[in-house]
Amino acid sequence: MSKPVIITADSTVDLSRELIDRFQIKIIPLTIILGDDTFLDGEGFTPLQMYARYRTDGTLPHTAAPGEQNFYDFFSSFTKEGFEVVHVDISSELSNSFNAARLAAERLPGVYPVDSRMLSTGGGLLAIEAAECRDRGMSAEEIAEHLRGLTGKVSTSFVLDTLTFMWKGGRCSGVAALGANLLKLKPGLKMHEGKLEVFKKYRGSINHVYRQYITETLEGKKIRPGHVFITESGEVEHSVIGELTELVQQLSGCREVHHTLAGCTVSSHCGPKTLGVLFIEE
């Protein structure tokens, strides 16, 4: 008889507290380092506060993944209670977090780390999938194997209002950032083979770009009907989110369209008014 299963994820899955509670997912946070201050991602410091700090003194945070011992302590708090663990982590191409989780799991029985090959709610979709599989009675090993086979069907993409934050964070060259900002281009980024790549450069106001990007991303796609995310990094107008939610519902046909705010780890690299639509394809 298989043991009961706990689903865990790192904080970059960007799930709302409501969804974390609903699907009973346990979160291990990354660390946000801002000058002499440190915060746990998702606890006590928001992207809006981060942008305000940047506009005041130009300071952007650094992020740090949990170490192997942090993961060991986290996982063992569940295994010692008789649980097995399926852990969903940010792409190993973007962070050392998964490698630390993998090393910790090798020291414990019944812990199955999964490299999502995604970031933000792309990983969140897999964590929710894992929770739904758990609730259907699948074992931890079965869930982990299922998730690894599903990563290639997750669509994770975003459109950025500015390249400034990626430039300052070392995620793109200064020339690319300057050129894009001078030409008023809005780059679209997507996850491909575990890495972020530019798939299109949009023109026009960001609100117009959102609609164009969402339409092009969803039209003609066979989307699993369970969950779609609209994930943004803050400062997108509430009325705009409402209009975009209606558009996503219309184009996707999904039962649930979730609006979530990215945490500081993701937002520190993409900047304000970044927005993505994330889903799993059939």
**What CATH number has the domain bearing residue 229?**
3.30.1180.10
* Strand runs labelled E in the chain: 5-10, 25-28, 31-34, 37-40, 62-64, 84-89, 111-115, 154-155, 157-159, 185-192, 195-203, 227-232, 256-261, 275-280
Binning pLDDT at 50, 70 and 90, where does residue 175 land? Answer: very low
User: In b/e form, how buried is each residue of 215-229, taking b as 16+ CB within 10 angstroms?
Assistant: eebbeeeebbeebbb
- Asked if 109 and 164 sit in the same domain, the reply is no
Distance CA(266)–CA(282), nearest Å, equals 27
Mean confidence (pLDDT) of the chain: 92
Residue 55 token pair = 């506009």
CATH number at residue 12: 3.40.50.10440
Confidence at 196, pLDDT banded by 50, 70, 90: confident
Identify whether 38 is part of a domain: no
Question: Exposure of 146 by Cβ count < 10 A (0-12 exposed, 13-18 middle, 19+ buried)?
Answer: middle
Question: Cα–Cα distance between 259 and 228 in angstroms, integer?
Answer: 9
* Tokens 């779609």 found at: 228
Residue 42 included in any domain: no
**pLDDT tens-digit map of 216-264:** 999 999 999 899 999 999 999 999 999 999 999 999 998 899 999 999 9
| Domain match, 247 and 138 both | no
Q: Which of 126, 150, 174 is the last residue before a domain boundary?
A: 150
Highest mean predicted confidence (pLDDT) among 56-60, 87-91, 249-253: 87-91
Indicate whether 135 and 189 sit together in one domain.
Answer: no
Tell whether 12 and 112 lie within a shared domain.
yes
CA distance 88 to 67: 16
Residues 241 and 262 in one domain: yes
Q: Is residue 179 part of a domain?
A: yes
Neighbouring C-beta atoms of residue 150, cutoff 10 Å: 18
Residues 119 and 174 reside in one and the same domain: no
Contact present, 251 and 216 (Cβ < 8 Å): no
Residue 236 half-sphere exposure, CB side, CA atoms within 13 Å? 31
137-154 residue pLDDT tens:
999 999 999 999 999 999
User: Whole-model pTM?
Assistant: 0.94
The reply to whether 50 falls in a domain is no
Q: Residue 124: which of 271, 279, 282 has the closest Cα?
A: 279
Percent of the chain clearing pLDDT 70 (strictly above): 94
Domain around 125: 5-30+65-150
- Is 40 part of any domain? no
Given the DSSP bridges, would you call strands 195-203 and 256-261 parallel, antiparallel or unpaired? unpaired
φ, ψ at 214 (rounded to 5°): -65, -45
Count: domains in the chain: 2
> Of the given ranges (39-53, 108-122, 168-182), which has the lowest mean pLDDT?
168-182
Q: Which of 102, 124, 150 is the last residue of a domain?
A: 150
Closest CA to 247 of 281, 280, 217: 217
Assigned domain for 142 exists: yes
Does pLDDT of 170 surpass 60? Answer: no
pLDDT at site 60: 82
Residue 28, pLDDT above cutoff 80: yes
Q: Are residues 196 and 276 in the same domain?
A: yes
- Answer yes or no: do 166 and 251 share one domain: yes
Residue carrying the six token digits 């700090």: 53
Which of 150, 178, 206 represents a domain boundary (last residue)?
150
